[in-house]
């Protein structure tokens, strides 16, 4: 298996990655040199195999250079979400035992208050600083200036440790158990992805999402290990994403459903302007995709839409291509990694068609870093792992997800899954985004609440709320129809497509 150092020798001038908005390009030769310099810096600071570092950066070259350096020096690195609050950043930096932290001018205002009380965090750098004077953060460029450009003598495999999104509770650091030990080997899960999605040295991969999320980061690292080229967007914009596919003739791309929705809601003449015919695989995951939205994407882009279901934990994975999805609409596919088990609240394995908690048996091993109780809670007595999702299998072994277990609403003794209601409301022509959850009810225990983000916020009114309720009642049973609908200018949705639904629920419970 090749490595960036191999491609640097065989194709030194080939772009390893570029930033779409600026055109800034880093060749394999440059990436090899920079990652070697950073690896030498790590060693000079006393960082050794299995030590932890953290970085909070926009989608920029330094993030990928540091990632490649960590991978070739045995370092465990944690990219921190750029949307977190100071107290959340502090929690992650302390929890992951980071000894080194790298950030930029864009986020420097969050510090040093978030770092100064963490005793293990002894090295702090700013990638935008040219001087070490009068700052709690040293110059990153200055630290690298005199580092050697050859590989370190003790190259060994490092890896990312990303934190769960925290949509249902405190973020958890997901630490995988590496089944390989060479920088020239591909992790088995990544090998499965590579084979399933046709990645190779000829791939041009468009990454429109932040690199602190698992899928964008892992795909970029995999493509570079294979010798392909990554096109990294600094931020997602629906029309610019289409333009970027055309400009760079992207062969692969990775999306979340909200991106599909925003591209589909572009005017027809805008969508028709761009040639996306170079795409061979349009991969999506991270959140459930409404059936109607996915059908529209297949109608537009052709049968290149591929979905998978997994998590940062990597304990299992399903996959479904367009052809299979058209005969199993709404499914996320059969298992590709691990074996699916649907389990009742009593711990019994359920037959096809019955809804229960989704578990994976025989998947990859992982732990929640420094959280033994949460690690144990993610597995049952058989050792099967769950991400906390609810679903069922059909007779063909295809998995259908109904919702997160924590989000289920129990109203009048009836189990209601908000995702079904969200999947319907998002298709309404006036709706840009929606969240559905349960709120306390004296009569029913809980009742269904919807919070809607409109395409045109000026149209919000009590009359429109009633119209949306009636529209829903015509398509779903009365018990699933929201008892109330509120409007908001913007829902708290992360860049990976997941809603911070926990924050919404807490907000309404506090009222």
pLDDT in tens, 336-378: 989 999 999 899 999 999 999 999 998 878 899 999 988 888 8
Contact (Cβ atoms closer than 8 angstroms) between residue 253 and residue 283: yes
Interval 22-40: pLDDT, tens: 999 999 999 999 999 999 9
Both tokens of 425, joined, read 């409301």
Specify the pLDDT at position 186: 80
Nearest CA among 193, 312, 313 for reference residue 252: 193
CA separation for the pair 197, 77 (Å, rounded) = 26
Q: Distances in Å between the alpha carbon of 133 and those of 129, 138, 199, 411? A: 10, 8, 46, 61
CATH of domain 408-509: 3.30.300.30
pTM for this entry = 0.85
DSSP letter string, 325-375: HHHSTT--BSEEESEEEEE-TTSPBPPTT--EEEEEES---EEETT-HHHH
Q: Which stretches of the chain drop beneath a pLDDT of 70? A: 1, 112-116, 134, 165-169, 179, 496, 509-511
Query: Which element (helix H / strand E) includes 116?
Result: none
Q: Where do the domains of the chain lie?
A: 4-8+26-165, 339-405, 408-509
CA angle 408/412/413 to nearest 5° reads 65
- Which residue carries 């809603």 as its tokens? 499
CATH code of the domain occupying 339-405: 2.30.38.10
- CATH (residue range 4-8+26-165): 3.40.50.12780
> How many other β-carbons are positioned within 10 Å of the β-carbon of residue 22?
10
Give the pLDDT confidence score for residue 151 in this predicted structure: 98
């Amino acid at each position: 298996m090749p490595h960036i150092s191999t491609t640097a020798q065989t194709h030194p001038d080939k772009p390893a990655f570029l930033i779409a908005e600026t055109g800034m390009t880093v060749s394999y030769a440059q990436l090899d040199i920079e990652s070697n310099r950073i690896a030498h810096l790590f060693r000079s600071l006393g960082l050794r195999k299995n030590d932890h570092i953290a970085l909070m950066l926009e989608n920029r070259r330094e993030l990928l250079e540091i990632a490649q350096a960590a991978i070739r020096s045995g370092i465990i690195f944690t990219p921190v979400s750029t949307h977190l609050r100071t107290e959340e950043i502090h929690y992650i930096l302390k929890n992951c035992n980071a000894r080194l932290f790298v950030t930029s001018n864009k986020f420097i205002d969050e510090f040093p208050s978030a770092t100064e009380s963490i005793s293990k965090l002894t090295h702090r750098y700013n990638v935008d600083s040219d001087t070490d004077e009068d700052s709690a953060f040293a110059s990153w460029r200055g630290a690298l200036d005199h580092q050697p450009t050859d590989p370190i003598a003790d190259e060994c495999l490092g890896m990312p440790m990303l934190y769960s999104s925290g949509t249902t509770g405190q973020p958890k650091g997901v630490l995988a158990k590496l089944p390989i030990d060479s920088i020239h080997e591909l992790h088995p899960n990544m090998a499965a992805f590579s084979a399933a999605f046709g990645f190779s040295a000829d791939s041009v991969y468009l990454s429109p999402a932040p690199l602190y999320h698992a899928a964008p980061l892992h795909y970029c690292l995999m493509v570079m290990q294979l010798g392909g080229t990554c096109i990294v967007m600094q931020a997602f914009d629906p029309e610019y994403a289409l333009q970027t596919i055309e400009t760079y003739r992207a062969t692969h791309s990775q999306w979340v459903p909200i991106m599909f929705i925003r591209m589909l809601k572009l005017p027809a003449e805008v969508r028709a302007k761009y040639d996306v015919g170079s795409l061979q695989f349009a991969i999506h995951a991270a959140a459930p995709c409404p059936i109607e939205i996915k059908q529209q994407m297949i109608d537009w882009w052709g049968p290149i839409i591929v979905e998978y279901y997994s998590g940062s934990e990597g304990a299992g994975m399903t996959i479904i291509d367009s052809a299979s999805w058209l005969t199993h609409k709404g499914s996320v596919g059969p298992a590709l990694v691990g074996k699916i088990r649907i389990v009742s609240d009593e711990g019994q394995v359920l037959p096809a068609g019955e809804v229960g908690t989704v578990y994976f048996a025989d998947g990859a091993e992982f732990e929640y870093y420094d959280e033994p109780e949460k690690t144990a809670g993610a597995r049952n007595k058989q050792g099967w792992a769950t991400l906390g999702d609810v679903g069922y299998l059909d007779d063909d072994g295809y998995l259908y997800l109904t919702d997160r277990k924590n989000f289920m609403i129990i109203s009048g003794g009836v189990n209601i899954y908000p995702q079904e209601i969200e999947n319907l409301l998002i298709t309404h022509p006036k709706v840009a985004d929606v969240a559905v959850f349960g709120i306390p009810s004296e009569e029913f225990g809980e009742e269904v609440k919807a919070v809607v983000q409109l395409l045109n916020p000026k149209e919000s009114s009590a009359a429109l709320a009633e119209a949306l309720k009636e529209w829903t009642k015509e398509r779903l049973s009365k018990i699933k129809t929201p008892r109330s609908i509120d409007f908001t200018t913007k829902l708290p949705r992360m860049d990976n497509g997941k809603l911070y639904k926990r924050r919404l629920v807490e907000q309404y419970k506090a009222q």
